[in-house]
Amino acid sequence: MNQEIKVCQNCKKDFIIEPDDFAFYEKIKVPPPTFCPECRKQRRLSWRNDFNLCTSNCKLCGKSVVTLFSPESKMTVYCNKCWWSDKWNPRDYGVDYDSTKPFFVQIKELIQRVPILGLVNDDGIGSVNSEYTHDFAFSKNCYMVFSAWKIENVLYTSYIIAGKDIVDCTNILDFCDLIYEGLQLELCSRVKWSQNCTSCLDSAFLFDCKDCSNCFMCGGLRHKKYCFRNEQYTKEEYEKIVDSYKISTWLESERAKKEFEEFILTIPRKFANNKNCYNCTGDFLINGKNSKSCFNVQRPENDKWIENSDSPKDSYDLVCSGELSECYEGITSDHSSRNLFGIFTWKSQNVQYAHHCHTSHDLFGCASLRNAEYCILNKQYSKEEFEKLRAQIIQDMNNNPYTDSRGVKYKFGEFYPTELSYFGYNETIAQEQFPMTREEVFKNNWKWQDSFQLTKGKETIKSESIPEVIDDVKDQITKEILQCIDCERNYKITEAELTLYRRMQVPIPHRCFYCRLSTRLKKRNSYKLWHRKCMKPECTNEFETSYAPDRPEIVYCETCYNNEVA
């Protein structure tokens, strides 16, 4: 097959399908996509809510349950204990396939009726005291943590695979402890307000540093001690400078954050942070091979368009997935092979359009099944009946596709349409990478969540009344309702949080979790690539980078970066 230029059904822009892409689609038996990679990603992410929780009641036992699903989603939510129990049978919800109705409508109706886990976590089973977490396992004493496992005492953090005593971090790639406001860190201890660092200790405001300790306001350093703004000082001089910053106070820490942002713009940075990779494009790839447009992935191999994942092989178009092969268009398709169009479907083979199904094989359009085979719309068939009916449904999907309100057609081989998502667009991680206004969302006939998590005007303490220095803050603060200085949302300080702020000597934040999170995610480059030239004068090297051309950072090729920084 030759390279082909197609027009995206959704954005109407051209996109390219490469010969190896055709080979991949042929191997997994799906037609080539009709959406461009970016529109496919936006559609996929519009089905994943990572950070917006609410409370409701388990529809089986009636107990209060924390959930991703707002009442408007009309989902049937069960608590952890009920969902995993034998008190109900997902096969009881099975229905006959109706050839007069688009398949996407039938699977959507099934997804809404069959009970679903309020949150995907193992609180009370493998984890302890971690009710407010999602995509989460084997951990202890965590609160508002998303996509994580094997961690302890972690708060307001996402995408973390090992660590202890951490607040307000994203993308912790290997064990870290006592970290505040960190992004892309590994093997760091007692580090605050830092980004892209490995093996650093007792430091604050570091960018792209390795094996440094007692450094402050530095960028691109290796094996250093007692440095300030990349200059070497004696221990005594260094301590005097750091003390003068008074970063345990709110106003001074804000000032230092600003200074740091300006300072790191003067330090050249590498076009991509890929380690030990061969023939890869993307960012934050470790031990990768032949993988393109992947972001924050460990051990990718022959992959394209995958993000926040671990050990995917021969797979395309995935988010937050691990240890799988030949998977396509999925959200958390862990430990699977040939798991296509799956949402939170694990340990499964040869499944298509499976939603929260586990340890199953040969499913088509099923929801919440476990240990199942040869089911369609949760109804049991023999192997022969299953194969015959699946072929018929695929034919019907192609002859009479689901058409959304903008006229976009969804045949077999497309992921679920965004307009059928049970989440408001602004509840999902699509809003992070593809932000849209309420009006734009309504124009597409997508949903918008107006009410979630937003309490205003209930504050019992004004931000100017919070003591400046953390040591002056009394335990009483955990009883107060605070108000975010950016969005006015009310929020609280938990006891565990206060204890960590005191230990780490950082001030009480004056912004809510959501504003802190979005500020941090903006510092992480967008998961998108641009073709650019090295900014070192006279160098003609070119590369694919996640730094957009209009960004202010100094971006170098590997050679120039290594000459100047590493």
Nearer to Zn ion, 82 or 247 (CB): 82
Q: Which of 58, 167, 172, 555 binds Zn ion (CB under 5 A)?
A: 58
Q: Report the alpha-carbon distance of residue 241 to residue 385 in Å, rounded.
A: 75
Among the listed residues 487, 498, 521, 565, the single contact to Zn ion using CB under 5 A = 487
Q: Which is nearer to Zn ion, 515 or 521 (CB)?
A: 515
Q: Which stretch binds Zn ion (CB under 5 A): 11-19, 129-137, 140-148, 404-412?
A: 11-19
d(CA 33, CA 62): 43
408: contact with Zn ion by CB under 5 A = no
Rounded Cα distance, 28 and 327, in Å: 8
Alpha helices in 308-360 (DSSP H): none
Contact (CB, 8 A) for 352 and 343:
no
Pure H helices in 14-173: 19-27, 37-45, 80-83, 103-113
516 part of the interface to Zn ion, by CB under 5 A: no
Q: How distant, in Å, are the alpha carbons of 118, 191, 215, 341, 360 from that of 356? A: 11, 38, 46, 11, 11
For Zn ion, the closer CB: 134 or 338: 134
Residue with smaller CB distance to Zn ion, 347 or 511: 511
> What is the footprint of Zn ion within residues 294-353 (CB under 5 A)?
none
Residue 133 pairs in a beta bridge with 145
The one among 8, 185, 318, 372 contacting Zn ion by CB under 5 A: 8
Site for Zn ion in 526-545 (CB under 5 A): 534, 536, 539, 541
Here's the x/- map for Zn ion, 72-111, by CB under 5 A: it reads as -------x--x-----------------------------
Candidates 60, 201, 265, 267; binder of Zn ion (CB under 5 A) is 60
Cβ atoms within 10 Å, residue 203:
27
Verify binding: residue 489, Zn ion, rule CB under 5 A.
Answer: yes
Q: Which is nearer to Zn ion, 56 or 189 (CB)?
A: 56
Please classify residue 420 by burial: count the beta carbons closer than 10 Å to its beta carbon, then call 0-12 exposed, 13-18 middle and 19+ buried. buried
| Residue placing its CB nearer to Zn ion in the complex, 58 or 394 | 58
Q: In this chain, which of 10, 121, 293, 336 binds Zn ion, going by CB under 5 A? A: 10
Q: Are 109 and 96 in contact (CB under 8 A)?
A: no
Q: Is 521 in the site for Zn ion (CB under 5 A)?
A: no
| Cβ proximity to Zn ion, 241 vs 461, nearer residue | 461
Applying CB under 5 A, does 61 fall inside the site for Zn ion? yes
Among positions 481, 515, 521, 565, the unique one binding Zn ion when judged by CB under 5 A: 515
Instruction: State the DSSP string of 480-509.
Output: S-EE-TTT-BEE---HHHHHHHHHHT-PPP
481 scored as a contact of Zn ion (CB under 5 A): no
Rounded to 10 deg, the angle between the 103-113 and 383-399 helix axes is 120
Closest approach, Cβ 533 to Zn ion, in A, equals 8
Question: What stretches of 49-195 show up as alpha helix (H) in DSSP?
Answer: 80-83, 103-113
Whether residue 211 contacts residue 222, with contact meaning beta carbons closer than 8 Å, is answered with yes
Give the 3-state secondary structure of residue 514.
helix
Q: Does 376 interact with Zn ion (rule: CB under 5 A)?
A: no
- Give the per-residue contact string, 29-48, with Zn ion (x = CB under 5 A; - = no): -------x--x---------
Return residues touching Zn ion (CB under 5 A).
8, 10-11, 36, 39, 58, 60-61, 79, 82, 484, 486-487, 489, 512, 515, 534, 536, 539, 541, 557, 560
